[in-house]
């Protein structure tokens, strides 16, 4: 084989599991100044002095990943990577009302992303090993498919329900970690990763306000879309096996 051409022995399969902590997430109108359809939040300021919005987090979430890659140079690996985050539950608060009043917000999401990633194995560049561990750096770009479920906004007497949508967006990640050999063909990777998965979005129209005591019929809403940027960081443990 010519130099720089991957052989079958260069190919590997990697599978892993991660725990991530998404950063603070803010749902707000895509365009608060429009009149039709009606913005879900509207332009601020709200009673707390901030723009109208919902602020919260997803807690700790699980991520599953599988990748297939190859060594293209002594220090460089290229990988096609698919990640699944099946259960993300946003829990937060809106700021329509005074802070002591009930205005909790919840949204369920799931994310599937695909990326092309490049990794630099630092000892192959002349940098020292860390005992039995080989440090590496990586970066990836691709796309994420975000499925947003219903948004449920609980107020003192009513519940506002807004349907979600599915959308695709640009996604990227950076990572740093260490690898250690378990055998001639198997390697264990432990890595920190920061991911930007794009924007989750709610639907336009189809919302409703429900009086929980049944005193009124539901009020249908022709609301505009709202959105939130999804970013997270956490650790991944994976096993890499060369064919």
Write down the pLDDT at residue 99.
82
pLDDT (tens digit, 9 = 90+) per residue, 101-131?
999 999 999 999 999 999 999 999 999 999 9
Write down the pLDDT at residue 151.
97
Write down the pLDDT at residue 169.
97
pTM of the predicted model over 0.85:
yes
Write down the pLDDT at residue 9.
58
Mean predicted confidence (pLDDT) in 20-33: 95
Query: Mean pLDDT in the chain?
Result: 94
Enter the tokens of residue 52.
């109208």
Domain 8-242 in CATH 3.40.50.360: no
Domain coordinates of the chain in residue numbers?
Answer: 8-242
Residues 6+ apart with CB under 8 A from 183: none
Residue 19: alpha-carbon gap to chain centroid = 12
């Amino acid at each position: 084989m010519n130099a720089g051409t991957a052989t079958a022995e260069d190919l590997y399969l990697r599978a892993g599991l991660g725990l991530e902590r998404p950063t603070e997430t803010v749902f707000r109108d895509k365009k608060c100044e429009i009149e039709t359809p009606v913005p879900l939040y509207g332009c601020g300021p709200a009673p707390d002095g901030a723009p109208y919005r919902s602020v919260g987090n997803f807690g700790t979430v699980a991520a599953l990943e599988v990748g297939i890659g190859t060594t293209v140079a002594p220090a460089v690996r290229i990988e096609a990577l698919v990640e699944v985050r099946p259960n993300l539950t946003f829990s937060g608060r809106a700021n329509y009302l005074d802070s002591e009043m009930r205005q909790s917000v919840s949204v369920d999401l799931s994310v599937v992303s695909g990326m092309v990633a490049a990794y630099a194995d630092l000892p192959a560049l002349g940098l020292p090993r860390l005992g039995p561990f080989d440090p590496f750096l990586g970066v990836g770009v691709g796309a994420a498919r975000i499925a947003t479920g219903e948004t449920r906004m609980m107020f003192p007497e009513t519940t506002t329900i807004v349907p979600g949508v599915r959308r695709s967006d640009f996604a990227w990640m950076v990572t740093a970690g260490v690898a250690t050999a378990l055998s001639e063909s198997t390697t264990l990777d432990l890595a920190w990763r920061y991911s930007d998965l794009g924007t989750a979005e709610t639907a336009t129209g189809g919302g409703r306000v429900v009086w929980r005591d049944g005193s009124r019929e539901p009020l249908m809403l022709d609301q505009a879309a709202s959105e939130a940027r999804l970013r997270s960081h956490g650790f991944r443990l994976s096993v890499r096996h060369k064919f």
